[in-house]
Structure 1
């Protein structure tokens, strides 16, 4: 089977003065696009075969910015720059492809529209008519000479844009947050609708699995929606709301292990754990295998008809008259009353902690802080100093949970059958050494003052 990767150059500047089209360099956004696509091309193994690039400045710079993000010698074969690829004609590009020798079974072509789109649609009519700058298409073809290709002979197995690979690029296109002005009910309804749109916009990017920030933001928007719903429930009854909130909670929980694995792997990548090189590599590989399995399971959930139906039901529910009526009762005074109850509960739980309290007790305290923060966010008049204190406590308790989670995954690695005794011993020693920073964080939590002051 042959693999053909077709990539359009990243966003380029418009020609100015005496600059020709051929000389157009990348814009700053184009450089960010190319950088964002480097991990995609690595994951798809698109750089392991031949790399053919148009000689135009913008295609050369696209490759340069991709290569700058790769480990040393990641480009196994030297890229080939070809004047024939500086074309906007699909038939010319097809003729170039058919003239290739039979050897390359895997190939990346970085070129220009509309030639790339014309070629892609010749290979497979189902290919979208749009190929934004920096985007990549992955085709598989029968193991036959390039010269024998026929219309419709390829299968499109992958398609990704820079905005699907990078959260920072996505933010420019993300649904705009609602205006925080206006009465409480209209503001909260707009907030729920915005969070719904964000969740739906994030779903395909979560499934792409390139940037872990998409998963984090997906979880945040589900939880904030739930926070509004729980606040409504604490004040008034809404038929069906309890069941809806239960489903939101279930969907957020389904992402927990994957999020923990993302954080752990990122930490290992940014710091040097007290492990030998062999053990570190074995642990990383095992965690990545777990990550892939969790991501695959999540993708299956998100692509299931039942999930789409759930989200559509939630959209209809928040647009219903029952919810609109209930939101009118959620006045700033009532929000403050619920907030005060949660603050009082937090202070009680904090006072009950001791140096030998279980890890679970601190986890429950963290959940309470998050619920308080989400509720406080509903009221734009909440002092910034109070929100800053909540964020501080959330970070502190989050760091504690990350250490606990790290220990849990280390124990799971130790208990897995495929690892040798020395690797298990090293990981057990590392897990035990995490008790010291946990105790230091525990002391900081115990030293916190009550929120109700």
Structure 2
């Protein structure tokens, strides 16, 4: 099997003055694009074979930005700068590819359009008709020598853009949030439509699985949509709303374990747990195996016709006359009444807590707090001090939940018969040491004053 990776250079400056096309450097955004693709190229194993780069400044700088993200790797002995790759003609690029030695199993080409996209379409007509800056295509050839390639001979394995690999880059192009103009009904409908658009726009990044922030924002928009729908349901009856809210809940729940794993794995990178290097590596690999499994399951769900149908049904429902009539009843006065009811419930649950309260009780308190926050966000006149207090409480309870989740995964690691006994002992000791910070957070939560004053 042979693998071909086609990468277009990242975003470059336009020529000015005496600058030739060959001399065009990357823009700042281009440098961020190239850096964002480093983990993609690593995951796809594109850097394990030959790396062939056009001698243009923008392609060389693209490689430099990728290499800068790989401090523990060297590409020097596998990088070839070739003037022949500074071409915009597919015939020249194809001739170069067919001349590769048969001993080359993988090749990454960093080059230029339209040659790259024309070559991609020659390899497989299912390839996208355009290739944005910084994007990468992966093709595989089964039992085919380079010299004997024929049109349509390759399988398209993957296609990824920087905006699908990096949430900060995606954010530039993300649907813009609505303003706060108009009555409450129009604001809420605009908010629900925006959340729907965000859910759909985030899906490619979630499926790519490179930047975990995509999954986080995807969950947030699902939960906010559900919270707004629940608020509407608390005010008036809307036929079909309950069933659709259950679907949103199901979609959000399908991401829970994966999000917890993302957070735990990121903490392992950012902090120094009391583990030996061997144990940390063993735990990391074990968690990553579950992460891949959960991500694969989520991707399968997102790619089903049922998922697309349910999301499209939700969008149609939001725009329906039934929802419009219900939204007309969601006045600031009624919204405040629902908010006051939820605040009162929160205060009752908070007062019922004791030092012996279960972890589940604090988790339920956190879920109720989120519903309060989402509802409070509907009204632009909600005092900033109140929103700040909600955020503070969410952080406290979120930190508590992270520790609780971490303990649960450590328990699972220790219970697995396949893991090393010494590593399990270290993880068990770490799990026990997390009780103290959990208790400290529990005390902070118990010391909170009621929200209603």
SS at match of 2:172: coil
Task: Give, in angstroms, the shift of residue 115 of structure 1.
Answer: 0.7
What is the aligned partner in structure 2 of residue 398 from structure 1?
Answer: 398
What is the aligned partner in structure 1 of residue 37 from structure 2?
Answer: 37
Q: Distance in 1 between matches of 2:215 and 2:187?
A: 25
Task: Give, in angstroms, the shift of residue 144 of structure 1.
Answer: 2.8
Give me the CA root mean square deviation. Answer: 0.9
CA deviation string 1:76-134 (max 9, x = no partner): 84311001111111101111111111111011000000111111111111211100000
What is the aligned partner in structure 2 of residue 125 from structure 1?
Answer: 125
Task: Give, in angstroms, the shift of residue 179 of structure 1.
Answer: 1.6
CA deviation string 1:389-445 (max 9, x = no partner): 101110110000000000000011111121121111110000000000001111111
Check conservation: 2:49, 2:78, Cα contact below 8 A.
no
Q: Distance in 2 between matches of 1:176 and 1:70?
A: 34
Q: Distance in 2 between matches of 1:131 and 1:446?
A: 55
What is the aligned partner in structure 2 of residue 273 from structure 1?
Answer: 273
Q: Distance in 2 between matches of 1:393 and 1:165?
A: 32
Q: Distance in 2 between matches of 1:378 and 1:121?
A: 47
Task: Give, in angstroms, the shift of residue 73 of structure 1.
Answer: 2.2
Task: Give, in angstroms, the shift of residue 3 of structure 1.
Answer: 0.5
Task: Give, in angstroms, the shift of residue 449 of structure 1.
Answer: 1.2
Moved more, 202-211 or 289-298: 202-211
Q: Distance in 2 between matches of 1:401 and 1:74?
A: 40
What is the aligned partner in structure 2 of residue 372 from structure 1?
Answer: 372
Pairing 1:430–2:441 present: no
What is the aligned partner in structure 2 of residue 219 from structure 1?
Answer: 219
What is the aligned partner in structure 1 of residue 179 from structure 2?
Answer: 179
Check conservation: 2:10, 2:62, Cα contact below 8 A.
yes
Check conservation: 1:8, 1:110, Cα contact below 8 A.
yes
Q: Distance in 2 between matches of 1:220 and 1:325?
A: 26
Check conservation: 1:48, 1:76, Cα contact below 8 A.
no
CA deviation string 1:295-345 (max 9, x = no partner): 000011111111111111111111111110000000011111111111111
What is the aligned partner in structure 1 of residue 197 from structure 2?
Answer: 197
CA deviation string 1:364-398 (max 9, x = no partner): 11111101000000000001111111011101100
What is the aligned partner in structure 1 of residue 363 from structure 2?
Answer: 363
What is the aligned partner in structure 1 of residue 408 from structure 2?
Answer: 408
Q: Distance in 2 between matches of 1:373 and 1:112?
A: 48
SS at match of 1:202: helix
Distance 1:74 1:340, change over 3 A: farther
Q: Report the TM-score when normalising by structure 2.
A: 0.99
Q: Distance in 2 between matches of 1:405 and 1:173?
A: 33
Task: Give, in angstroms, the shift of residue 74 of structure 1.
Answer: 4.6
Write out aligned runs for 1:221-370 (5 A).
221-370=221-370
CA deviation string 1:175-206 (max 9, x = no partner): 11112111000111111111111111111221
Q: Distance in 2 between matches of 1:116 and 1:360?
A: 54
What is the aligned partner in structure 2 of residue 143 from structure 1?
Answer: 143
In structure 1, stretches of 5+ residues that fail to align are: none
Task: Give, in angstroms, the shift of residue 145 of structure 1.
Answer: 2.2
Check conservation: 1:3, 1:140, Cα contact below 8 A.
yes
Q: Distance in 1 between matches of 2:402 and 2:286?
A: 18
Q: Distance in 2 between matches of 1:310 and 1:417?
A: 40
Check conservation: 1:48, 1:77, Cα contact below 8 A.
no
CA deviation string 1:10-65 (max 9, x = no partner): 00000111111111110000011001100000000000001000011100100000
The structure 1 segments of at least 4 consecutive aligned residues displaced by more than 6 Å after TM superposition are: none
What is the aligned partner in structure 2 of residue 100 from structure 1?
Answer: 100
Q: Distance in 2 between matches of 1:444 and 1:285?
A: 34
Task: Give, in angstroms, the shift of residue 220 of structure 1.
Answer: 0.6
Q: Distance in 1 between matches of 2:295 and 2:38?
A: 20
Q: Distance in 1 between matches of 2:219 and 2:72?
A: 35
Pairing 1:164–2:164 present: yes
What is the aligned partner in structure 2 of residue 111 from structure 1?
Answer: 111
Q: Distance in 1 between matches of 2:297 and 2:78?
A: 37
Count residues in correspondence. 453
Q: Distance in 1 between matches of 2:319 and 2:121?
A: 40
Task: Give, in angstroms, the shift of residue 272 of structure 1.
Answer: 1.4
SS at match of 1:326: helix
Moved more, 194-203 or 402-411: 194-203
What is the aligned partner in structure 1 of residue 382 from structure 2?
Answer: 382
What is the aligned partner in structure 2 of residue 73 from structure 1?
Answer: 73
Check conservation: 2:56, 2:86, Cα contact below 8 A.
yes
Q: Distance in 1 between matches of 2:268 and 2:73?
A: 22
Q: Distance in 2 between matches of 1:437 and 1:51?
A: 48
Check conservation: 1:93, 1:115, Cα contact below 8 A.
yes
Check conservation: 1:47, 1:76, Cα contact below 8 A.
no
In structure 2, stretches of 5+ residues that fail to align are: none
Task: Give, in angstroms, the shift of residue 277 of structure 1.
Answer: 1.0
CA deviation string 1:202-222 (max 9, x = no partner): 112211111101101111111
Q: Report the TM-score when normalising by structure 1.
A: 0.99
